[in-house]
Amino acid sequence: MNHGKIPLRYAKALFLKGIEKNMLQELSEDIKILSSFFENSPSVISWLGSPVIDIQEKNDFFRQELNGQLTDISFKFIDLIIKNKREKYFPAILKKFIEFQENDAGIKIIILTTAIEIDEAFEQKISRIFEKKYNSKIHLFTRVNPSILAGFIIQTDDQLYDASLATELKRLKKELTGQVLEKSATKKGS
């Protein structure tokens, strides 16, 4: 199964359950709590993925750590993820849930990756450009990835626009390598 589809399916199921039970707002709060929990405790994901730790111990861990902070539906959802051995997808599932919620509210999610940190003024400029383009509110996430060397990568919904120097260099290398191979094949054929 495609790893991209697993988080999508779980997040969609939880989102639809929230709508069905008229608890979308409560689930949204739970997702914020869980997202914060995983951000502040990144080693929990690897601990959860350990085959040595049994399902009940993992479920008990969440109930102890987050007791009184989450709805019963969220605890059942956590139990389901653990039972199905999908723990490593927790962060992606939470992110997808937030995307569903924001899309439902008419908010577009844009992920901007740059080689260096950008200032708030530039972030606002990018947000305004996309607000005009999509005629909706924008939630801009920024990431810094020095390996792209320069330029940027913009991801929205299932679209990706890669204007990074690293990608351009790869394309150029592939093009030049192809031309060299064509020339050497032509010389051998002569």
Q: Are residues 94 and 87 in contact, defined by beta-carbon separation less than 8 angstroms?
A: no
pTM confidence score: 0.59
Q: What proportion of the chain, given as a percentage, has pLDDT over 70?
A: 92
More confident residue, 119 or 104: 119
pLDDT tens string 72-92: 999 999 999 999 999 989 999
Scanning the structure block, which residue is given the tokens 């993992």?
A: 58
As a whole number, mean pLDDT of residues 173-187 equals 73
pLDDT tens string 139-164: 888 889 999 999 999 988 668 899 99
DSSP H or E stretch at residue 9: helix 5-20
Cα separation, 123 vs 18, in Å, equals 32
Expressed in angstroms, the distance from the first to the final Cα of the chain is 49
As a whole number, mean pLDDT of residues 35-51 equals 87
CATH architecture group of domain 5-102: Orthogonal Bundle (1.10)
